[in-house]
């Protein structure tokens, strides 16, 4: 297993696209920081900081592409056969990919956060991270937001991985992953209207995409009709469920 993880890390770090994507994310963050600094009325500073100067959205797109390609490329180029010939179990191959994806998710968030702290210190040195936001500090809200986004991102990526195990090419998997993301985001807003009419619909996976928002705004429970701990539990549960289904699909797929 350790060898497989090292191989996945090696492949990831030696892809030009990996470093290009990180560079793009940082460039976008710097661009928005400069725009906010030159015209403070254009973007709210607190909102930008909370969203890592748009870095949070960029790193999710990076992860969708990475999650789709890490599975689909093995089948597209036939490299899965080499791993199986070396007497690795499919479960070991699959789990090693999940571990590396999780590591990448954490590293990208750390980079986005570090850049955000640096940009804030440079362009807004008087920004108070300990200012009160409701009953908590801004820093507390920021960290809770990272936790909530992490949970929702894991749910989204589990679906992307499942899609990738069903498609034959890397491009198709990535495209489907992005389409699935935008459809999910659109559906999560519509589902609130339906929940109000049919309460049992609150348990569907699309509702869990609002877990991050409810962590930051507990009063959203009046709309989702679920407590925050229940939403967190269901988000984790759905992520695990889709990942298990993805593994079953990965295991049965012909090479």
pLDDT in tens, 20-35: 999 999 999 999 999 9
| H-assigned helices in 124-169 | 138-166
Span 184-229, pLDDT tens digits: 777 777 887 788 788 888 888 888 888 888 898 888 888 888 899 9
130 vs 135, 140, 178, 246, CA distance in Å? 12, 8, 36, 42
The whole-number pLDDT of residue 78 equals 59
Q: What's the pLDDT score for residue 238? A: 95
Average pLDDT on 161-171 reads 79
Q: CB under 8 Å to 199, separation ≥6 — which residues?
A: 225
Domain ranges of the chain: 2-252
pTM (global) more than 0.85: yes
Do residues 239 and 158 lie in contact, with contact meaning Cβ atoms separated by under 8 Å? Answer: yes
């Amino acid at each position: 297993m350790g060898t497989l993880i090292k191989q996945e890390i090696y492949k990831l770090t030696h892809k030009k696209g990996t470093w290009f994507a990180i560079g793009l994310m940082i460039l976008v963050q710097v661009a928005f920081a400069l725009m906010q600094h030159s015209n403070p009325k254009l973007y709210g500073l607190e909102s930008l900081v909370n969203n890592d100067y748009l870095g949070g959205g960029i790193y999710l797109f990076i992860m969708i592409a990475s999650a789709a390609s890490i599975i689909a490329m093995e089948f597209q180029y036939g490299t899965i056969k080499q791993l199986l010939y070396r007497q690795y179990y499919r479960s070991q191959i699959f789990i090693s990919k999940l571990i590396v994806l999780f590591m990448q998710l954490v590293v990208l968030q750390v980079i986005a956060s570090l850049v955000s702290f640096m940009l804030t210190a440079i362009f807004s040195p008087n920004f108070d991270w300990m200012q009160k936001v409701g009953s908590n500090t801004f820093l507390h809200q920021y960290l809770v937001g990272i936790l909530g986004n992490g949970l929702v991102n894991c749910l989204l990526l589990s679906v992307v991985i499942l899609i990738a195990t069903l498609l034959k090419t890397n491009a198709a998997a990535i495209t489907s992953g992005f389409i699935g993301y935008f459809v999910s985001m659109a559906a999560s807003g519509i589902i609130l209207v339906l929940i109000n009419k049919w309460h049992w619909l609150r348990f569907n996976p699309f509702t869990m995409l609002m877990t991050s928002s409810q962590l930051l705004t507990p009063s959203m429970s009046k709309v989702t009709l679920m407590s925050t701990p229940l939403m967190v539990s269901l988000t984790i549960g759905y992520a695990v469920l889709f990942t298990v289904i993805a593994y079953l699909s990965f295991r049965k797929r012909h090479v």
